[in-house]
Structure 1
Amino acid sequence: MQVELKDVGKTYDGDSWAVRNLDLTIPSGSIYGLIGPNGAGKSTTLRMMATTMSPTEGAVRLDGEDFSQDPLAARRRIGFLGDGNPLYKQMSPAEYLRMFGQCHRMPAAALEQAIDETIETFDLVGKRDTECGALSKGMRQRVLIARCLLHKPGLLILDEPADGLDPRGRSDLRRIIERIRATGVTVVISSHILRELDDLCDEVAIIQRGKLVVAGPVEGIIDSHEVSRYVYELRLHSGFDQALALLAHKPALIEHSDASLQQIRLQVRGGEALMAEILAELVTAGVRPVTCSRVRSRLEDVYDRISEDQVN
């Protein structure tokens, strides 16, 4: 499903605007990220996409159709996980899904089949009849997203789905989102964890103070903003002191070092080519690196730069 927002704005009091003059086109079958600080207008934008909130001005179109006069028809094609969605702790995943399937008026036989398929898709087979209150945070989040997909929508909207999840839960969530996209569903996701979105999303939009700052393919945005700040973490087998001495004379800023762990985190201005030269010199000097990994998201670098521009 393709989503279009044309000159969309929302005011709650008739004076200040939560969102204003927002133009977005979200391609069908893509994973689209919505980025911005708290209060930027992300949740308001997602609610307007989900038709649970009407824009004050402008139009939201799903596959070219404006559903403002019949939002219920649109909701049959949308799965929406907003902020603070309830999960009834006394219900099992199967009971919870059945209740929402009945809300969608799914025929009984089709509903039971959809429950079976959804539970398998989300790796909940072993927890099918366990009370939701006894599930881990990551498992509960799977149940919530499963509920959004039970009726096979063409659009899935997720508002901060990784909030509160541990690294394992975020990794599981990522695999689920990629699996959902593989079925042709358009996924729109908001998140503060920019590193999670860097190579997950096809396109992103950055919103600040209710205004669109930049939108488009991730790589295109990075290229257009000429990001040159790269942060790497080195883990060494030996030669920690020699590495520190050599790096002190390079165009690199050591952000953190830990002799006990043989780790050095450094910011390199010059990108991968300069980092490759530094690694070669470290080896020549007798330093024995084990790993060299990039730890800072390029998308996060763009966001930091844009934020600085906004402040200035």
Structure 2
Amino acid sequence: MRVELRDLGKTYDGERWAVRGLTLTIPSGSIVGLIGPNGAGKSTTLRMLATVLAPSDGSIAFDGVTPGPDKTALRRQIGFLGDGNPLYKHMSPAEYLRFFGQCFKLPPAELEPAIAEMLTTFDLTERRDTPAGALSKGMRQRLLIARCLLHGPRLLILDEPADGLDPRGRSDLRAILARTRERGVTVLISSHILRELDDLCDQTVILQQGKLVVAGEVADIIERYEVRRFVYQLRLLAGGPAARELLARRRVLVEAEGVEDGCETLSIQVQGGEELMADILAELCAAGVRVVTVSRVRSRLEDVYNRISDDRVA
């Protein structure tokens, strides 16, 4: 589903604007990341896109059509996870999904297989009959996301979906979203964990104070803001002095040093891409440095966002 926002705006009191003059095109079958600080207008924008909040100004077109007063048919094509969605705590996961499947008028022959698929996908099969109130926070969050995908939407809107998920759950969510895009579903996702959006989104939209600051393909934005500085953490079992000597010759800045789980750690700033880091790692190993792990500390989107924020403050 292709979504077009034209001069979209929302005010709650007629004076202050939560969102103002937002013009944006979301291509069909893409994953778009919406980022910005608290109060930037992210949740308000997502609620307008989900048709649960009426715009004060401008319009939204879905596949070229601006919806009229009756949005029932359109809402059946949208999966929406808003901020603070409650669960019916007395319902089990199976009952909860069945209830919403009936709300979306899924035929019984399609509903039960869809419920089984969602319970399997989100690792809830063993808890299918457990009251939702007795589930962990991560399980409840997975159930909420499963509800959004149950009816096979063409547009999936997720507001902070990784909230409450452990690292394994966040990794699984990324895989699920990637598969969802492969089915042609358009995905719009907001997150304050920018690293979660790295290498997942096709496009990024940055909002500040209710206004669009930057929008476009992730690679183009990174190139535009010249994000070529990467920070990695090295965990070393041995060879710290040799590592420092080699990094100094390579003119790699060591930002911080420490110890983690009995291993020496070095946080290094590399002026180049992953190919350069791969070359440095190979040289460290050839010099006898015993590298346990290499991990990127900050994401490219974090660097872009920090660069934009610095520019606006200046």
| TM-score w.r.t. length of structure 1 | 0.91
Whether the 8 Å contact between 1:30 and 1:202 is mirrored in structure 2 is yes
Are the structure 2 counterparts of residues 46 and 147 from structure 1 closer, same or farther at C-alpha, using a change threshold of 3 Å? same
Moved more, 253-262 or 95-104: 253-262
> Do residues 60 (structure 1) and 65 (structure 2) align?
no
> Do residues 20 (structure 1) and 23 (structure 2) align?
no
Structure 1 residue identity aligned to 2:270: V
CA distance in 2, matches of 1:114, 1:248: 57
Gaps of 5+ in 2: none
Moved more, 10-19 or 235-244: 235-244
Structure 1 residue identity aligned to 2:146: A
Structure 2 residue identity aligned to 1:185: V
CA distance in 2, matches of 1:158, 1:297: 21
Structure 1 residue identity aligned to 2:44: T
Alignment of 1:254-293 (within 5 A): 254-259=254-259, 260-272=262-274, 275=277, 278-279=280-281, 282=284, 286-293=288-295
Are the structure 2 counterparts of residues 290 and 103 from structure 1 closer, same or farther at C-alpha, using a change threshold of 3 Å? closer
Whether the 8 Å contact between 1:122 and 1:176 is mirrored in structure 2 is no
Q: Could you tell me how far 1:57 is from its partner in structure 2?
A: 1.0
Q: Could you tell me how far 1:268 is from its partner in structure 2?
A: 2.4
Q: Could you tell me how far 1:248 is from its partner in structure 2?
A: 5.2
CA distance in 2, matches of 1:164, 1:273: 34
Superposed CA RMSD in Å reads 2.2
Are the structure 2 counterparts of residues 86 and 276 from structure 1 closer, same or farther at C-alpha, using a change threshold of 3 Å? closer
Moved more, 110-119 or 157-166: 110-119
Are the structure 2 counterparts of residues 90 and 222 from structure 1 closer, same or farther at C-alpha, using a change threshold of 3 Å? same
Structure 2 residue identity aligned to 1:198: D
Q: How many residues align?
A: 312
SS at match of 1:302: helix
Are the structure 2 counterparts of residues 274 and 97 from structure 1 closer, same or farther at C-alpha, using a change threshold of 3 Å? closer
CA distance in 2, matches of 1:52, 1:251: 54
- CA-to-aligned-CA distance 1:74-108 (integer Å, 9 cap, x gap): 21111111011111222111111111122223344
Alignment of 1:152-167 (within 5 A): 152-167=152-167
CA distance in 1, matches of 2:106, 2:283: 65
Are the structure 2 counterparts of residues 13 and 248 from structure 1 closer, same or farther at C-alpha, using a change threshold of 3 Å? same
SS at match of 2:234: strand
> Do residues 295 (structure 1) and 310 (structure 2) align?
no
CA distance in 2, matches of 1:99, 1:234: 49
Gaps of 5+ in 1: none
Alignment of 1:240-255 (within 5 A): 240-247=240-247, 251-255=251-255
Are the structure 2 counterparts of residues 287 and 150 from structure 1 closer, same or farther at C-alpha, using a change threshold of 3 Å? closer
| TM-score w.r.t. length of structure 2 | 0.91
- CA-to-aligned-CA distance 1:218-263 (integer Å, 9 cap, x gap): 1111111111321012222321133335545664332322254122
SS at match of 1:220: helix
Q: Could you tell me how far 1:279 is from its partner in structure 2?
A: 4.6
Corresponding position of 1:222? 222
Are the structure 2 counterparts of residues 14 and 244 from structure 1 closer, same or farther at C-alpha, using a change threshold of 3 Å? same
> Do residues 96 (structure 1) and 93 (structure 2) align?
no
SS at match of 1:61: strand
- CA-to-aligned-CA distance 1:192-220 (integer Å, 9 cap, x gap): 11111011111111111111111111111
Corresponding position of 1:48? 48
Whether the 8 Å contact between 1:51 and 1:68 is mirrored in structure 2 is no
Alignment of 1:132-171 (within 5 A): 132-171=132-171
